[in-house]
Chains A and B, each alone.
Chain A
Amino acid sequence: MSINGRAYIVGAFEHPTRKAPDKSLAQLHAEVARGALEDAGLAPRDIDGYFCGGDAPGTGPLSLLDYMNLKVRHADSTNVGGSSYILHVGHAAEAIAAGKCDIALITLAGRPRSTGSGKGNLQRTDNPVQPDFPFEQPFGLATVNIYAMCAARHMYEFGTTSEQLAWVKVAASHHAQHNPGAMLREVVTVADVVGSPVIADPLHRLDCCVISDGGGAVIVARPEIARSLKRPLVRVRGAAEAVKHQNAGDIDLTCSAGSFSGPAAFAEAGVGPADIKYVSLYDSFTITVVIQLEDLGFCPRGKGGAFVADGNLISGQGRLPFNTDGGGLCNNHPFNRGGMTKIIEAVRQLRGEAHPAVQVPNCDLALAHGTGGLLGTRHGSATLIMERE
């Protein structure tokens, strides 16, 4: 069963906060749900499907459905880290196509900045019962050094340079200057990035995303409902997911599960990378963007560094505008999970509602893609292709 054309994104909302010391986690979920409902022109009673990820407090969707007092007939709390929400759009489209629900709400929220729990150089506090835990945790595994090891190997195999990686941040900063909500609005140069302190070789401070509180929500609905609403029509054309892990010790850190989810999503959508006008790519670190571009087929394997150089990702300047809200590198990274904001900015672009300085002309086909978990150990990739009708 293809989901191409079977569901539409009818509501999207990014929480304006970047630091929320006085709000509860559940409150943030309810606020983004409210925002997405207002955006769509729907009421809470219209929601009959709900999706959430690992940021939801409690057992899967139970506590948040209770808190928001939503009555649904379909729920899914698949958790593959920060890409979960992109995956959820695909799952919501499947559920709608199968008649399991009509209008699905997806929420994300978190407060890592207020709680001080989100620093990338801290050891991760994964569950000790995980079988991998004793073979990784004692070695000082953190978020930043595992991505750094991917970058180091990419440089070794393909000659990728720190200056090329820096162009990813430079492009994000060019976009963030136009976003009043962005945490980092200053335009930076390649020299700024490679001159910033090394956090974990070869990644510098400015190769890393921000830590922010906040959240976001999107609403997915069946075609007849989407057409009855007043917002521009954003159709789901293709969606796919994949998981990549350590392969019993036979590892390759230079590519991600996007090399599987990307081609599958393109096949379902019936389009190719050359057709895409705008991409939202999970930018936990600059290297993440380079590897994802290769995996999705926007450039050959090993050529991602050259592809992002010289402003090729800057809207109005380069061939492939990306993360025009400033992305996780400059704008927002709520709960250290960048998937939701990737969908939201792609929807803005397709609706023609991005900031005029970064709006892609005639943006009729966009892709959102994320890598959740850790790129260098085990992760889930999700790819979503959307079209303005």
Chain B
Amino acid sequence: MSLLSESLPFHPEVQEFWNALPQGRFLLRACRACGRAHWYPRAICPHCASSDTEWREASGRGTIYTYSIMRRVSEPFAIAYVTLAEGPTIMTNIVESALEEIAIGKAVAFVVGGRKNGEYLPLFKLV
């Protein structure tokens, strides 16, 4: 059992998502009935209410929809919404990138990591 972090509760509906991250895999939940991917992952498709949903490995490519750099903290960091190549826009952090180079519209790529030690999160870096 690899939980995302001790600070986060166990959500059985999405456990496979968190289990895949340490292996470097970013899973999206998509619907066989309507064909659309959604975010965050759900068993019932939020587009068409079908229960015929499945995990699909995402391309890991996206662009920055918006971001903000939190300044009034000990270690400034970038929170962002990234629009994935597959469609959905997701909340994440931009890491391994110079904060001053982050901009809306820039291309980013998926990396596994966490702002804190021991976390496995879907993060992105500038490409």
Contact = CB atoms under 8 A, between A and B. Distances in A.
Interface of A: 121, 128-129, 131-142, 144-146, 148-150, 152-153, 156, 197-203, 246, 248-251, 253, 377
Contact of B89 (A133, A140, A200, A249): A249
A58 B68 CA distance: 35
Nearest to A135: B40
B8 A134 contact: yes
B8 A246 contact: no
A251 B47 CA distance: 13
A156 B69 CA distance: 16
Interface in B19-61: 37-40, 42, 46-47
Nearest to B8: A134
A197 B5 CA distance: 33
B47 A135 contact: no
A200 B77 CA distance: 10
Contacts of A246: 39, 89
Contact of B67 (A131, A149, A198, A249): A149
Given A128-B9, A134-B4, A251 B65 contact: yes
A135 B42 contact: no
Given A141-B79, A248-B39, A121 B9 contact: no
Given A136-B91, A141-B79, A248 B69 contact: no
12 contacts: A134-B11, A134-B14, A138-B115, A149-B67, A152-B67, A200-B68, A201-B69, A249-B38, A249-B88, A249-B89, A250-B88, A250-B89
Contacts of A251: 65, 81, 89
A134 B92 CA distance: 11
Contact of A249 (B79, B87, B115): B87
Contact of A128 (B8, B67, B70, B71): B8
Contact of B46 (A146, A152, A248): A248
Nearest to B14: A134
Given A134-B9, A153-B65, 15 more contacts: A131-B13, A135-B91, A139-B93, A139-B115, A139-B121, A140-B70, A140-B73, A145-B70, A149-B66, A152-B67, A153-B104, A201-B71, A249-B38, A249-B39, A253-B65
A131 B119 CA distance: 19
B38 to A, nearest CB: 4
B90 interface: yes
A319 B52 CA distance: 54
Contacts of A121: 70, 72-73
A359 to B, nearest CB: 37
The 5 closest A-B pairs by CB, nearest first: A249-B88, A249-B39, A148-B68, A248-B46, A135-B40
A138 B92 CA distance: 9
A138 B42 CA distance: 19
Contact of A140 (B8, B40, B88, B115): B115
Nearest to A120: B72
Contacts of B4: 134, 138
A138 B119 contact: yes
